[in-house]
Amino acid sequence: MSRWDMLPDVVSPVGRRLGDILAEGPRRQDLPGYEAVYRDFVDYIMRCTHRIWEEKNIGLCRSHYGDDCVMHTLAGPAVGAETVVQGTIGSLGYSSDRQVIGQDVVWSDDGDGILHSSHRINGQMTHMGDDAMLGPASFRGTGATTIADCACRANRIVEEWLVRDNWRAVAQVGGDPWAVAQAQAAMDRDGDPARHDWRSSALAAVRAGGDFAIPTDSPAAIPAATLVAAFRHDLFGDAAQALSPAAEVRWPSMRVGYGRGFWIGCVTQLRAVLHDTTLTIDHTAARPLPHGDIAVAIRWSLAGRHGGGGVWGPATGRDLLMMAISHYRLRAGVIIEDVTVFDELAVLRQLAGGLAACA
């Protein structure tokens, strides 16, 4: 595992024009096994996404995903490159004008040939076709923030963790997220419940605890400590001291605001309804940005019981699993931006009794 600030020439896409990002040129980083077109690891993530989504060369997924790659989402895992190919074609079937706009790539060298990326994407599209989640074609514009964490080796993604603001995507086309979640839960209750055993295993893993080892010199320790103070110790005010009083905060389902008070509000909305809560820090990465800023990515999970009324209605007593990824911008050791994504629609699905609810 290398230092967080190694290879300063392998820079974030933040503040750069797309033409500059995709400019061809010599290698800036040793990438054993990667196609020659990729100049460095950030270029690999940005360029292969552009080739697949904007240039519509979807078959490239077969050379960029492992045959046994597992994609983790709160709707359940999916396996293999061919699954990615069919899923991408299906997405274009109901949103053929879809644009996938890369906003940042925060990466780390995790050793043993594994490079890890946390890629934040702003997806924009028109809802032109019927879709199981979005419903009948509305011809409305919609979009959502997605963050994909990928473990990569030799030109292939070997494991992926994906979070998307699906609540926002449904609401933008006039749908009712609760109704969608209830319909999904009804389908989950049909058929063999064993297909949802992954969720019981994931809940048990989070409850067992254990955090990703953050390097001692990594700036990721600062936002990780805010999550620990808030969700393990209920010290919300102390946690928020790491944020600038004017910090920009963007959380799922149109929670957008500024400052420590707004951030505390986002956190306490979750903590108020989740009892017996366990937090795990699952991965961190940090990279230098222009002008001295630092980008940090943290993937984290919560397991708890829906024991309090609040943002998700009356307490149901059901077990809940959440997977979130946060991107932070630090300046002089202070958080000036927090972009957090989790699939709130998948949370409602669990509350409605879906994915083989454990309680």
> Do 161 and 109 share a structural domain?
yes
142 and 85 within one domain: yes
345 with 272, same domain: the answer is yes
pLDDT tens readout for residues 270-300:
999 999 999 999 999 999 998 899 999 999 9
Of 125, 147, 175, the residue that ends a domain is 175
Amino acid at 143: G
Domain-located, residue 8:
no
Q: Domain check: are 86 and 208 in the same one?
A: no
Q: How many CB atoms lie within 10 A of CB 32?
A: 8
Q: Is residue 5 part of a domain?
A: no
Q: How far apart are the first and last CA of the chain?
A: 40
Q: Which residues contact 168 (CB under 8 A, 6 or more apart)?
A: 143, 144, 145, 252, 253, 254
Token look-up 């600062």 returns 222
Residue 79 falls inside a structural domain: yes
Q: Are residues 198 and 96 in the same domain?
A: no
Both 159 and 222 in a single domain?
no
Of 175, 202, 221, the domain-final residue: 175
Q: What is the pLDDT of residue 247?
A: 98
H or E element at residue 313? none
- Judge whether 1 lies within some domain: no
State the alpha helices, DSSP H only, in 189-300.
197-208, 221-233, 236-240, 259-273
**What tens digit of pLDDT does each residue of 15-73 get?**
888 888 889 999 999 999 999 999 999 999 999 999 999 999 999 999 999 999 999 99
pLDDT exceeds 70 at position 117: yes
- How many structural domains does the chain have? 2
> How many CB atoms are located within 10 Å of the residue 204 CB?
11
What residue type is assigned to position 164 of the chain? R
Query: Given 148, 175, 202, which residue is the final one in a domain?
Result: 175
- Give the pLDDT confidence score for residue 1 in this predicted structure: 56
Parent domain of 346: 193-351
Q: Are residues 203 and 323 in the same domain?
A: yes
CATH (domain of 66):
3.10.450.50
Do 312 and 237 share a structural domain? yes
Provide the 3-class DSSP secondary structure of residue 197. Answer: helix
